[in-house]
Chains A and B, each alone.
Chain A
Amino acid sequence: MKEIKAEKITEEVRRLCIEAACILPEDVEKLVRDSKGKEESEFGCYSLEKVIENIDLAKKDMVPMCQDTGIVVVYVEIGEEVKILNSKLNDAINEGVRQGYVDHPLRKSVVTDPVFDRKNTGDNTPAIIYTEVVPGDKLRIQILPKGAGSENMGALKMLKPADGVEGVKEFVINAVVQAGGNPCPPVIVGVGIGGTMDKATMLAKKALSRHVGERHPDPRYKELEEEILEKINRSGVGPQGLGGRVTALEVRIETFPTHIATLPVAVNLNCHAARHKEIIL
């Protein structure tokens, strides 16, 4: 058994939360910088320029690039041979989130009860934690602080198998175009296809944590990613939704086997500030 202290997990989650809010992953930063060269609209270019300036400033001053520092989604892969000491895994993670958001000037955006109370929890907990048990003696923690402007534009549709690839394209493209300027385009489009309704939405979100340039291993889906991206970028939505070419930066499809009677498709959007960080202990 490999033993990992809960305090170590807390310390790392705290650090990941702060860094994710202030420093964009290099591959995403490059993607945003490169997108400016593809934009034709004047205001689109101007706003991308400001977004790039903002990325630089946030990193230099270690301040959040966006005021919406998100609700923290955490993906944990825990090896079968790992034992956590001194606390429970989820408690250690939530303590890390609490410390990160309280110690650094990050916004606390989580409310207790969704309908009646909506009282701020004051420390951005609880995180949304997905744990998977895997072979081995490693603990992998990936965090994805998710802003609500783009989250609110997510969509799910239970297509009929007969709707096929055309149905998938139409649904995904419409979801992005209808979202317009709301999710802070240019966006990264996470698409989950297959499984059940919950599985499809989880795949769509998981896609947002993929590295830039990582394509679906099946060439048919890889082509579909490219085709959907190209069509989205002909929609005219553009940066900030005020018209232009660069509406999306990437389309990322994740798939899973599904039932004979269904074809679930989920879309989860992320703004250009596609923040994520990970550590392997």
Chain B
Amino acid sequence: MSDIRNIKVPLTAEDAKGLKAGERVTISGVIYTARDAAHAKLLNALNNGESLPLEIEGGVIYYVGPCPAKKGQVIGSCGPTTSYRMDSFAPTLIEKGLKGMIGKGPRDEKVINAMKENNAVYFAAIGGAAALIANSVKKAEVIAYPELGTEAVRRLEVEDFPCIVAIDSEGNNLYESGVEKYRQL
């Protein structure tokens, strides 16, 4: 299997351009959590001309709603949630500077077009490896919308968070090419 490359986040456009679909990576640095309800609030804030509660330029958003932390844990189990539910929100955030998204499952054409136009990248984390992924999180802090509970926006410091580049900034899409390779129907 290809070597695993460690990448630091936030990402520059150049960093994002250098990542290719199918490449295995581990991610270290600061990422933000947001899923359905938080995305609705983020977009609402933008529509009202308010500033976002996270550093969007070069930022990476992880689609996750973690379990509560057990005593002694930084965060509870925290695997990726299905990304397509954020497809209607993602292009706006990408235009505002978002460079990376982490989730699971394919994205729609509008998201991929926005990624191509703005040099952003989409990583797949391993769905169902939630307890393992929690071990990659070294620090977690709720920074916005605490009323949303598990759906609040959190700032996470991660170390060696294992992912695969699923869709790159040229639109190469492992959800299509990977499946095509093994298709026998």
A: residues with CB less than 8 A from B are 40-43, 46-47, 50-51, 53-54, 57-58, 61, 63-69, 105-109, 118, 120, 122, 149, 152, 177, 180-184, 231, 234-238, 240-245, 271-273
| Overall SS of chain A's interface | loop
Checking A43, A58, A182, A183 against B77 with a beta-carbon cut-off of 8 angstroms, the contacting residue is A58
B81, closest chain A residue (CB): A149
Complex: how many Å from CA A75 to CA B50?
48
User: Once the chains bind, are A236 and B182 in contact (CB under 8 Å)?
Assistant: yes
Give the A-B pair count, Cβ closer than 8 A.
173
B residues lining the A interface (CB < 8 Å): 1-2, 22, 24, 37, 64-70, 73, 76-79, 81-82, 84, 104-106, 124, 126-132, 134-135, 148-150, 162, 164, 166, 174-175, 177-185
For residue A105, give the distance in angstroms from its CB to the closest CB of chain B: 4
- Pairwise interchain contact B77-A63, C-beta atoms closer than 8 A: yes
**For the complex of A and B, 8 pairs with smallest distance between CB atoms:** A243-B178, A236-B183, A236-B182, A184-B127, A182-B105, A234-B184, A105-B68, A181-B105
Q: Is the CB of B178 within 8 A of A105?
A: no
Cα A57 to Cα B126 in complex, Å, equals: 15
Q: Which of A54, A181, A242 contacts B131 (CB 8 A)?
A: A54
* CB–CB A105/B67 < 8 A: yes
Contact indicator A241/B130 (Cβ below 8 Å): no
In this complex, the member of B66, B68, B128, B184 whose beta carbon has the largest number of chain A beta carbons within 10 angstroms is B128
Q: Determine which of B70, B128, B166, B180 lies in contact with A236 in the assembled complex, contact meaning CB atoms within 8 Å.
A: B180
Query: Are the C-beta atoms of A64 and B185 separated by less than 8 Å?
Result: no
Q: Is the Cβ of B164 less than 8 Å from the Cβ of A242?
A: yes
**B134 to A242, Cβ gap below 8 A?**
no
Q: Are A236 and B129 in contact (CB under 8 A)?
A: no
- Chain A contacts for B64, CB-based, 8 A: 67
Q: Which residues of chain B come closer than 8 Å to A65, judged between CB atoms?
A: 77, 128, 130-131
